[in-house]
Amino acid sequence: MLTESQRQIIRATVPVLRVHGEQITERFYRDLFAAHPALLNIFNPVNQRPGGQARNLAASILAYAANIDQLDTLGGMVERIAHKHGSMEVRPEHYPIVGQYLLGAIAQVLGAAATDAVLDAWGAAYGLLAGIMIGREAELYAAGTAARWEGYKPCIVVKKEPESDGMVSLYLLAADGTPLPPFRPGQYLGVRLRVPGQTTDQIRQYSLSNAPGRRFYRITVRRERAGGATPDGLVSTYLHDGIREGDTLGIHAPLGDFTLDETSNRPVVLLSAGSGITPMLSMLEHLAPGIRPVLFVHATTSRAHHAFGGPVRTLAASRPGIQAVMFYETVGSDDVMGVHHDEAGRITEAALAARLPAGECDFYSCGPVGFMQAVEGILDRLGVPKARRHSEVFVPDAGFLTAA
């Protein structure tokens, strides 16, 4: 437990973190990997290059400090990070290592301002959060081992299918022939592999894009194109260009807290952009045989980048009560309204409001940051309560201690 004096010190460091947070986290990552290169098997080094992960970690440390008196408000963040850590097999023994280098980075960057009292307070705060994370992750590991498997199970790519310009689906079966366990619509798989020419394993998470209950798992991978001098995504490029049918990947049991609430009987609105369509398609396929009204809204740049357009239209036609609306930012001369797209441009409040099912709805949204910000603004203006909004942003997690 933190003492009141330690809490006061943590609160007092908030302005300092605003100024020096990124510098602290950049030094943390640099020193950690220099001393423990084996941790590159867990962390994604690509996220370190442009400084994005350092910024995310700095923002999360700041959020932790700002909420030190009301940690219950961080419950959603803790749950999301615990699932992410679970898919990467983060273990209790990793936490002291991370804590050592985080405190070391604080001491080096702050210099004389990092007094013994400040470092003691942050050591206690880190220990408190680490204990919470370790406890929740232990529960996830116990549940996973009992019902699924431990670690990464070899799975064979039995089918590889392009879905659009830049997206490809991989169909997976267990290499030992055992049935794959169920999952909840919206969850993801942790995928571990060694890209040829690399000295460390890489772990990524990809949403399951099919409904539960099939004999296979399907993940759909977007090719990460960085542009400029930054290299394209290492793993996504290899999954597109290097992996072949018959190859084997290490697969972690499904995890993820962005899931369909099946205890609700309210109508469902599924909002996605780009590769955010993948968990939404899993939810739509799962909901299609039921009776709940569903509005499926997807936004993409053009028909060339539109994945799963045909399957979504087929599901929408499978029964009354399912609507599908497609937004194309750029409409081609051969694009047919009502066949390829339904709206030109980006999603708008008017276009969404005109199609909402009657009554209170549950809203699920997934996509890049700009899209998610636009959706949140629309839902704010429509007066949708926060309790009926569920979302996931396809960027590196801004999680304190996140290993992505």
Q: What pLDDT is attached to residue 69?
A: 83
CB atoms within 10 A of CB 207: 27
- Residues 172-190 have pLDDT tens digits of 999 999 999 999 999 999 9
- Residues 348-395 have pLDDT tens digits of 999 999 999 999 999 999 999 899 999 999 999 999 999 999 998 755
Q: Is the pLDDT of residue 397 over 50?
A: no
Model confidence at 399, in pLDDT bands (50, 70, 90)? Answer: very low
Q: Is the dihedral of CA 394, 395, 398, 404 positive or negative?
A: positive
Element (H, E) at 294: strand 294-300
Q: Out of 189-193, 196-200, 286-290, pick the least confident.
A: 196-200
Nearest to 286 by CA among 173, 186, 390: 186
Q: Does domain 4-147 have CATH number 1.10.490.10?
A: yes
Does residue 238 carry a catalytic annotation? no
Distance of CA 99 to the CA centre of its chain: 24
- Residues 69-91 have pLDDT tens digits of 887 777 787 888 889 888 988 99
What is 152-252's CATH superfamily? Translation factors (2.40.30.10)
Distance from C-alpha of 323 to C-alpha of 317, rounded to nearest angstrom: 8
Return all residues near 124 (Cβ < 8 A) that are at least 6 apart: 2, 3, 6
| SS3 label, residue 148 | coil
Query: Residue 210 carries which DSSP code?
Result: S
Q: Is the pLDDT of residue 48 over 60?
A: no
| SS3 label, residue 115 | coil
Return all residues near 138 (Cβ < 8 A) that are at least 6 apart: 92
**Through-space distance between the first and last CA atoms of the chain, rounded to whole angstroms:** 28
Average pLDDT, the chain: 89
Q: What pLDDT is attached to residue 403?
A: 36
137, 163, 224, 392: the active-site residue: 137
Pairing of strands 248-252, 152-164: antiparallel
145 vs 234: which has the higher pLDDT: 234
Distance from C-alpha of 19 to C-alpha of 23, rounded to nearest angstrom: 9
Return all residues near 160 (Cβ < 8 A) that are at least 6 apart: 168, 169, 170, 171, 243, 244, 245
Say if 4-147 and 152-252 have the same CATH topology: no
Q: What pLDDT is attached to residue 398?
A: 37
Contact 354, 383 (CB under 8 A): no
Contact 344, 358 (CB under 8 A): no
Distance from C-alpha of 129 to C-alpha of 133, rounded to nearest angstrom: 6
Task: Specify the residue for token string 């986290």.
Answer: 25
Q: What pLDDT is attached to residue 143?
A: 78
Model confidence at 46, in pLDDT bands (50, 70, 90)? Answer: low
Q: What pLDDT is attached to residue 68?
A: 85
- Residues 142-173 have pLDDT tens digits of 877 666 788 899 999 999 999 999 999 999 99
| Best CATH choice for the domain 268-393 from the list 3.40.50.80, 3.30.565.10, 1.10.8.420, 1.20.120.1200 | 3.40.50.80
| Sequential DSSP letters for 236-268 | HHHHHHT--TT-EEEEEPPB-S----TT--S-E
CB atoms within 10 A of CB 26: 19
Burial of 391 (0-12, 13-18, 19+ CB in 10 A): middle
Does residue 392 carry a catalytic annotation? no
Start-end of H helices in 111-232: 116-147
Model confidence at 229, in pLDDT bands (50, 70, 90)? Answer: low
Residues linked to residue 325 through DSSP beta bridges, in sequence order: 297
Query: Cα separations (Å) of 32 from 28, 89, 125, 141, 390?
Result: 6, 18, 20, 25, 34
pTM score: 0.88
64, 95, 217, 328: the active-site residue: 95
| Sequential DSSP letters for 153-173 | EEEEEEEEEEEETTEEEEEEE
Model confidence at 18, in pLDDT bands (50, 70, 90)? Answer: confident
* Domain positions in the chain: 4-147, 152-252, 268-393
